[in-house]
Structures are given as structure tokens and as C-alpha cells.
């Protein structure tokens, strides 16, 4: 028998910090009980107060892209960008990813709309109609003990004549990249076993997801 948790309503929500990029709200779910939520949402739109129906139909905050490249004469390879992540102060390998723009939400395929844009911005690749886009998961929470942030997972299997299109030149000014890493299935398996990248650095959970998806063959 499932146990019902605290009933978190709008009245429970106290705004602690708010700016353009991030809010922190205190979910005062009971007398003297506090739980803090770092969120991209406005206090009136946090996930904790959504109805069951709103929860089931919500769109993610961002889209993470598992980009698999096929070129003539080579086996399929998983593409990562090398991105500087400010909270850890280092370049780490990561799947191309980005926030869903407000206008994306009105598109016929919101997740694909975001994925196509982010792939182009972070890798230089123009996704073609002949390339294969697949929703791997419509929404996963990043770290629900700390934030209600969420990402969709989208697979993009892209055929290129060569790797000449690869470029970080279209990235937003706040983003900092240092090239790419292309992995065969054996390379990806090695990184999974090591728990570190090819420069002996730890990587994110989303990188682990991309590696697992690729080596599993689910994309084929």
C-alpha cells in the first residue's frame, strides 16, 4: 500500500531567492518543517504544487541529446562536446543539451525543436529530414532531492559525409567549449568501466546515460 506524502500547496511556498536565472523556494510542508528547492520555475509554477494531470503532461526544462554519428567507412560513434562546467571548474565531456525556449513549447514536436537547435549551436551539425530523431525519455528529473529541474532525452542518429561540419562556433556567449570526443562502442564501454573520461576526469549522470544508451544498441 502506497503512503501519501505531505500535501504541498501554493500556500506552502515561500520565495527565498529570485533572479533571472534561478529561484530558491522554501517548501514549508508542515509546522516548522522546511525543504528547499532550487528551481528555474517561478514560485507559482514549481513542480511540487502541480496537480497530477499537470504533472503527467508537463514539458521538461531542457533537452539532452544523444548524438550518434555515422560516416562512410567508419562504425557509428557517440559524440560528446567538451564543455566547461562552472560549478566544478573544469571541462568535462557531455551530450549536447540546452534549455527549452518558450517558443519551442508551441511547436508540433517541442522536444525535437529544442534538440535540433541545440545540436546545431553546440556541434555545428544541421539535422536533416533523413536523420533519425527519437524520444528516449520524455522527462527525467536531474536531482529531485535538490531541484525540480528536468530534461528530456532525445536520440539523434545523424549521417555525415565527413566530420567537417563539427564546430562550437555557434555556441552562446556564456558557454565555453573545447572541441569534441567521438567514441566507438568499445571506447564507450571503456569509459563506462573506468567511471572517468579519456583525460581521467569524472563525468555527469547524463554522460553516463548517453554511454549506456549507445552501448546497449537501443538506438539501432
State residue 173's pLDDT score.
78
pLDDT < 50: residue spans in the chain: none
Instruction: Write down the pLDDT at residue 172.
Output: 75
**How many angstroms separate the CA atoms of 151 and 207, rounded?**
13
Q: Rounded to whole angstroms, how far apart are CA atoms 63 and 113? A: 10
Which pLDDT value is given to residue 85? 94
pLDDT at 5: 87
Average pLDDT score, the chain: 95
What's the topology of domain 62-216?
Nucleoside Triphosphate Pyrophosphohydrolase (3.90.79)
pLDDT at residue number 4: 79
CB 44 within 8 A of CB 33: no
Q: Please say whether the beta carbons of 76 and 186 come within 8 A.
A: no
Q: Give residue limits of the domains in the chain.
A: 10-52, 62-216
pLDDT digits (tens, 9 = 90+) for 130-153: 999 999 999 999 999 999 999 999
The pLDDT of residue 171 is 78
Q: How far apart are CA 102 and CA 186, in angstroms?
A: 39
Phi, psi of 53 (to 5 degrees): -70, -40
As a dihedral over the C-alpha atoms of residue 127, residue 132, residue 136, residue 142, rounded to 10 degrees, the angle is: -10
User: Of 128, 133, 134, which Cα lies nearest the Cα of 160?
Assistant: 128
pLDDT for the residue 100 = 96
Q: Are 109 and 154 in contact (CB under 8 A)?
A: no
Please name which of 191, 159, 167, 176 lies closest in space to residue 73, comparing C-alpha atoms. Answer: 159
pLDDT score recorded for residue 175: 87
Contact 211, 188 (CB under 8 A): yes
Terminal-residue alpha carbon distance, the chain: 39
Alpha helix stretches (DSSP H) within the chain? 52-57, 110-123, 185-194, 205-216
What's the pLDDT score for residue 37? 97
For residue 1, the model assigns a pLDDT of 56
Amino acid at each position: 500500500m502506497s503512503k501519501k506524502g505531505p500535501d504541498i500547496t501554493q500556500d506552502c511556498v515561500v520565495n527565498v531567492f529570485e533572479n533571472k536565472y534561478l529561484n530558491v523556494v522554501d517548501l514549508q510542508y508542515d509546522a516548522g518543517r522546511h525543504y528547499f528547492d532550487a528551481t528555474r520555475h517561478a514560485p507559482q509554477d514549481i513542480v511540487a504544487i502541480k496537480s497530477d494531470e499537470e504533472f503527467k503532461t508537463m514539458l521538461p526544462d531542457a533537452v539532452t541529446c544523444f548524438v550518434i554519428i555515422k560516416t562512410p567507412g567508419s562504425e557509428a560513434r557517440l559524440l560528446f562536446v567538451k564543455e566547461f562546467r562552472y560549478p566544478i571548474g573544469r571541462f568535462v565531456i557531455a551530450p549536447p543539451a540546452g534549455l527549452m525556449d518558450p517558443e519551442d513549447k508551441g511547436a508540433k514536436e517541442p522536444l525535437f525543436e529544442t534538440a535540433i537547435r541545440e545540436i546545431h549551436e553546440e556541434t555545428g551539425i544541421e539535422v536533416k529530414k533523413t536523420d533519425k530523431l527519437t524520444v528516449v525519455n520524455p522527462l527525467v528529473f536531474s536531482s529531485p532531492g535538490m531541484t525540480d529541474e528536468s530534461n528530456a532525452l532525445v536520440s539523434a542518429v545523424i549521417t555525415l559525409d565527413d566530420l567537417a561540419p563539427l564546430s562550437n562556433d555557434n555556441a552562446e556567449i556564456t558557454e565555453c567549449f573545447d572541441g569534441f570526443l567521438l567514441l566507438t562502442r568499445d571506447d564507450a564501454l571503456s569509459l563506462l568501466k573506468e567511471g572517468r573520461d579519456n583525460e581521467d576526469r569524472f563525468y555527469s549522470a547524463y554522460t553516463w546515460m548517453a554511454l549506456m544508451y549507445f552501448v546497449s544498441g537501443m538506438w539501432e
